[in-house]
A and B are shown apart, each in its own frame.
Chain A
């Protein structure tokens, strides 16, 4: 209990990690059930029987919500900064410790509320994690759209509140609590990432909070922000309204697209730091990387319409959003090219965290490259909502995000337990995960090109089937099983290392330069964060040591 209600940021980081672990295990199990249902539709599940189409859609909705909010946002944007951000800027505490811990309790309440949707009378909502109205606004449109949908909205509203509070604290901490000498141009790129993603969080989650409140009002207070006149559900005319579902699409995606960058920017910061460390070379063009990070954040606020090319929006708007979307590819490409250059400048130390950083890079490229295709309205008009898009975001957001999380966990694990994780197990975990993740998500491009839409409970329909895709689907399913099974190695590694099976780590086991490894309580900084291989006196110069030791 004392642990739960702590205001210590490191204890909160652990709480967030446990919360993220619960969410990722649940979300993964849901995705495996989805794969089983798609591959063997008639198979009876224990305690449940065969899955109905609405059960499948409930799995999709809950999988997406858990993974996007409680894994890909919570871990990189809440757990990691609580773990290392204060130390990286040389302070002993956050700017607003109580606000910070309140954010955790609200996040935990949000997760419980979301999971409670499974217990709702008609089950969890079935309208996907984007929950477009009127499907999400009128309970009669389907099972799960009653109490289940209310719980989802409540959960998301709570989550928004927590995310905003948590980010306010991070912003204030970065601005106000840097140690002497740590100017903005001496910040590690992880801190720049958190600065950008925190600003994005405050803006984006405010929009979602408003959208959720308005939708709850439409459902229970007789308003019609998202409901037009003339709707007939199951032959029953609905009360007249004066709104439009388009308002939800705009508000949701005004949140939804920055959210992608909130999830991935911290990973990009981790990749930069780890590549510098494990190549023993500084980040080249540090200022360019900072600029790219800020540009991605800024442009990320203006691209939401690319989720709406086929919504019937004015086609000129499609052109405009296509242009802003392509524009964001430029700073992203700049970062990728810089990382590639780093690999060819230094001496690689292929530790487990480095391998996962390389895995992040591999997925970020693989998923990122289909971005410019989907950014073209003319091509998206075919690919929208097909499995091509599912492949795209699972590679660029989910796999790249998760691999950067693994990189961070393996890297910072000694800060939590004083021990490194087992390297052999770590490498096995990496290689199986890498191959299985490609095996799972790469073939989805092909299903998408064949025109297979998302959210289909079965591939058979009254007119036509995607029967020729069934072998591909089966391969994806087996690969997904392998991917999930590989994570057991990771869990075993955490457990083993925590039980002191690995030797104690040195104070700065990775020979890093950033302040979280200093062990000094009041450091003074006189130089930049990545002084590897450039000093005559040794291999690296930590930020807590003065520029010229002799």
Chain B
């Protein structure tokens, strides 16, 4: 399991635990099966000429099949608990709101600002060179206080609700350190809810091939203490107000 990057999310330790168990089971089943193959290869021919040999062998066979089926049932049940806890919960309303937008080959992060409401965007207004990569509509009062960042700042220990969007093609929003992945699909609004609990820097990658710059579509998640997060956000909001 040391191959995985360090975990920084609340649900991550349960994920690591479950993945670890699964990998261990599968690895030893793999080893056992390969040993059987090698043994069969070097076995001296004991093939009896009895008309119906190996009935006992078949019974063992069905017993193993039953056991493996039981294992599969356990896998479905145990992982469903984790899946339900992370994906099938409604938003409780108090989470930190951030909108993530994937654009060839960049991630943008938008905070709704003091009014708590994301302002309107218009495709015709999208213009990265003039500093409006998301096409924020200045005519909408909710837009003027929206903070757009190229770094995802989050407070530690607080639930987060990410809204996923894509501007051009499908992108895959992937934070290995948070054990999180979901596609951002044009025309659809996605949500990812989680709680980062260990302060630090984490890599954000694109996991769905999105064009020639796919490999360099990377950004940074910075998890900081809540007071630092509040200070950072307030600073950005003040800068917009001026």
**In the bound complex, do residue A451 and residue B65 qualify as a contact, i.e. CB atoms below 8 Å apart?**
no
Distance A346 CA – B44 CA, assembled complex (angstroms): 10
| 307-328 of chain A: CB within 8 A of chain B | 310-312, 315-316, 318-319, 322-323, 326
Distance A459 CA – B218 CA, assembled complex (angstroms): 12
**In the bound complex, do residue A230 and residue B186 qualify as a contact, i.e. CB atoms below 8 Å apart?**
yes
How many residue-residue contacts, CB under 8 A, span A and B?
Answer: 286
**Chain B residues whose CB sits within 8 angstroms of the CB of A369 once the complex forms:** 26, 29-30
Chain B contact patch, size range: 35 or more
Q: Does B179 contact A (CB under 8 A)?
A: yes
CB distance from A242 to the nearest CB of B (A): 9
Distance A461 CA – B213 CA, assembled complex (angstroms): 10
CB distance from B109 to the nearest CB of A (A): 14
Q: Which of A237, A315, A451, A454 is within 8 Å of B83, CB to CB?
A: A315
Q: Which of A231, A318, A326 is within 8 Å of B123, CB to CB?
A: A231
Q: Which of A244, A311, A384, A446 is within 8 Å of B187, CB to CB?
A: A244
Distance A369 CA – B61 CA, assembled complex (angstroms): 17
Q: Which of B128, B186, B209, B218 is within 8 Å of A464, CB to CB?
A: B218
**Chain A residues whose CB sits within 8 angstroms of the CB of B200 once the complex forms:** none
Residue of A at shortest CB range from B103?
A232
**Chain B residues whose CB sits within 8 angstroms of the CB of A373 once the complex forms:** 19, 22-23, 26, 75
Distance A228 CA – B188 CA, assembled complex (angstroms): 9
Q: Which of A334, A348, A358 is within 8 Å of B43, CB to CB?
A: A348
Distance A53 CA – B174 CA, assembled complex (angstroms): 20
Q: Which of A65-73, A263-271, A335-343, A480-488 makes up part of the contact surface? A: A335-343
Of residues A245, A358, A382, which shows the largest number of chain B Cβ atoms within 10 Å of its Cβ?
A382
**Chain A residues whose CB sits within 8 angstroms of the CB of B34 once the complex forms:** 362, 365-366
| 108-135 of chain B: CB within 8 A of chain A | 123-124, 126-129, 135
**In the bound complex, do residue A330 and residue B54 qualify as a contact, i.e. CB atoms below 8 Å apart?**
no
Q: Which of B91-99, B138-146, B165-173, B231-239 makes up part of the contact surface? A: B165-173
**In the bound complex, do residue B207 and residue A385 qualify as a contact, i.e. CB atoms below 8 Å apart?**
yes
Q: Does A35 contact B (CB under 8 A)?
A: no
Q: Which of B54, B60, B168, B205 is within 8 Å of A232, CB to CB?
A: B168
Distance A222 CA – B15 CA, assembled complex (angstroms): 45
CB distance from B1 to the nearest CB of A (A): 8
CB distance from A236 to the nearest CB of B (A): 9
**In the bound complex, do residue A381 and residue B179 qualify as a contact, i.e. CB atoms below 8 Å apart?**
yes
Q: Does A533 contact B (CB under 8 A)?
A: yes
**In the bound complex, do residue A334 and residue B65 qualify as a contact, i.e. CB atoms below 8 Å apart?**
yes
Can you list 16 residue pairs at the A/B interface with Cβ under 8 Å? A134-B168, A134-B186, A231-B167, A311-B183, A312-B184, A341-B58, A343-B37, A348-B43, A358-B40, A366-B34, A382-B181, A449-B1, A453-B207, A456-B214, A459-B215, A533-B47
Q: Which 5 A-B pairs have the closest CB atoms?
A: A228-B187, A451-B176, A376-B79, A347-B47, A315-B87
